[in-house]
Amino acid sequence: MIPGERVSLVSPTGWDAVFGQERAISFLRGVLERGEVPHAMLFTGPRGVGKHTTALLFSAALLCPSGAPDGCPSCFKVARGMHPDLHLVEPEGAQIHIDQVRELERELSVKPLEASRKVAVIDEAESMNETAANAFLKTLEEPPPGSCIILVAAGAEGLLPTIASRCHELRFSPLGKREVEGYLRREFAMPPQEAERLARLSGGIFGRALLWARMPELAGFWSRGVEVAATESKSSLLALLERAGGILRDASGAETPAGEEGMEAYRKALDKRVVEKLEKRWQEARKRESARLRRQALFDFLDGMASFYRDIMLLSVAGAWDEKPGGLPLVNLERREDLEREALGKGSREAARILRALGRAKKALEANVDQELVMNWLMLEIKGARS
């Protein structure tokens, strides 16, 4: 599973922070108003549709004195991952481990410090390994009083059936390209042509398009992937290895903004031991988010390459590289001449071979294999130079 193209901890200042999920938001507002909050919920849906953001918004509402994500100091602390009654769990490496579940059990067993309840958000819940999942099942079977647990996953099928059956599942819908395009034009005052391009290149994945709109420098990694794919046949192996090294160096500079505004007064108001614990939690969250951004930059680079080779396959299979593509759903419309040239030279079989190599490289990155090793292997594989 690819990390979720999400912007790091967003400030929950209202339900409108989530776009295109009116049914899910309406349900959550309803259970809050009726006071019928399930003890365990499961948010499922495609990556990048707003599941994690909604989990933070719902957590903010549960912990907020007003019962809604209104941007108050409590909500601000949720957004920064520093609310003492909120516990965030996400994979360490490729998995969620047993010690993380044990820590969650300890956190939920103590009384709330500021709010009337404790809340836990488990992101990429399907990454729990077997021992962690079995231990977590016990927590769900006997949930601590006054606690709410929110699991975020691509689908219920990735979880133990006994875990999924104990949660109220809330499904999030995929968004269409036109919806993403309209949002970018409206919220970012983006020119129509640029909004269409960004929505098209993101594959309609809202979280990715939003991340690129907020951090344009990350969108450049996709474009560089397309450029490498378009010039690969003319490039030497040494040139490709040098470009891979440049991508790695630039990706290593991606970092989550500190987001420390307004926190000093909060620190002063807390017990020193609590402050130290929350500071450590915040620093760890920042490290994880920065690592996620760096890895996402590499995914964007690989996905940019993959989009070019998929377009080659489409042209080759359609047998129409000497004609106008017309209705062909090409992603890289701006590189039509390059695509036609490479489709003639490579054909669908070679494009498919490179696509398989790109898929293996992404899986290796997901498994935390050394990034330089993965990128060098990929370039060797593409040029057919691997021994």
Tell me, what CATH number does 99's domain have? 3.40.50.300
Radius of gyration of the CA atoms of the chain, in A: 23
- Would the pLDDT of 91 be above 80? yes
Q: At 153, list the tokens.
A: 């996953």
Same domain, 344 and 228: yes
The H helix count followed by the E strand count for the chain is 15, 5
Whole-number Å distance between alpha carbons of 278 and 61: 20
Q: Is residue 117 part of a domain?
A: yes
Same domain, 264 and 318: yes
Max avg pLDDT among 87-91, 283-287, 340-344, 358-362 = 358-362
Same domain, 358 and 315: yes
Residue 269: what pLDDT?
46
Residue 322: what pLDDT?
44
Q: Is residue 1 part of a domain?
A: no
The vertex-116 CA angle with 27 and 88, nearest 5°, equals: 70
Same domain, 152 and 227: no
Whole-number Å distance between alpha carbons of 58 and 70: 11
Same domain, 131 and 208: no
Same domain, 373 and 224: yes
Contact 260, 279 (CB under 8 A): no
Q: Are strands 118-122 and 147-153 parallel, antiparallel or unpaired?
A: parallel
Whole-number Å distance between alpha carbons of 49 and 174: 6
Mean pLDDT estimate for the chain: 84
The vertex-105 CA angle with 89 and 50, nearest 5°, equals: 30
Give Cα 269 distance to the centre of its chain: 34
Q: Is residue 285 part of a domain?
A: yes
Whole-number Å distance between alpha carbons of 22 and 225: 35
Same domain, 42 and 105: yes
Same domain, 256 and 137: no
Of 214, 239, 268, which residue constitutes the final position of a domain?
A: 214
Whole-number Å distance between alpha carbons of 63 and 371: 39
| pLDDT tens readout for residues 311-329 | 998 888 775 444 444 556 7
Q: Is residue 297 part of a domain?
A: yes
Q: Is residue 7 part of a domain?
A: no
Cβ neighbours around 136 below 10 Å, total: 26
Same domain, 143 and 198: no
Full residue range of the structural domain in which residue 199 is found: 177-214
Q: Are strands 147-153 and 168-171 parallel, antiparallel or unpaired?
A: unpaired
Same domain, 154 and 262: no
| pLDDT tens readout for residues 343-364 | 888 888 899 999 999 999 999 9
User: For the ranges 168-177, 204-213, 283-292, 330-339, which has the lowest average pLDDT?
Assistant: 283-292
Residue 321: what pLDDT?
43
User: For the ranges 66-70, 201-205, 366-370, which has the lowest average pLDDT?
Assistant: 201-205
Q: 142 pairs with which residues across the strands?
A: none
The vertex-363 CA angle with 362 and 368, nearest 5°, equals: 95
Same domain, 376 and 277: yes
Of 161, 188, 214, which residue constitutes the final position of a domain?
A: 214
Of 157, 174, 191, which residue constitutes the final position of a domain?
A: 174
Residues 51-79, mean pLDDT to the nearest whole number: 89
Residue 5: what pLDDT?
43
Q: Binning pLDDT at 50, 70 and 90, where does residue 126 land?
A: very high
Residue 271: what pLDDT?
54
User: For the ranges 204-208, 245-249, 266-270, which has the lowest average pLDDT?
Assistant: 266-270
Domain count, the chain: 3
Long-range (24+ apart) CB contacts under 8 A made by 354-362 are 354/305, 354/309, 354/381, 354/382, 355/306, 355/309, 355/310, 355/313, 357/381, 357/382, 358/302, 358/305, 358/306, 358/309, 359/306, 361/302, 362/2, 362/299, 362/302
- Would the pLDDT of 144 be above 50? yes
| pLDDT tens readout for residues 2-14 | 334 444 445 556 7
Residue 3: what pLDDT?
39
Q: Which residues of 152-189 are buried (b: 16+ CB within 10 A; e: fewer)?
A: bbbebeebbeebbebbeebebeebeeeebbbbbbeeee
Q: Is residue 9 part of a domain?
A: no
Contact 295, 3 (CB under 8 A): yes
203 vs 201, higher pLDDT: 201
Contact 228, 222 (CB under 8 A): no
17 vs 232, higher pLDDT: 232
Residues 230-252, mean pLDDT to the nearest whole number: 91
Contact 78, 12 (CB under 8 A): yes
CA terminus-to-terminus distance, the chain:
29
Residue 8: what pLDDT?
41
Residue 275: what pLDDT?
63
Same domain, 206 and 221: no
Q: Give, to the nearest 10 degrees, the angle between helix 216-231 and helix 192-201.
A: 70
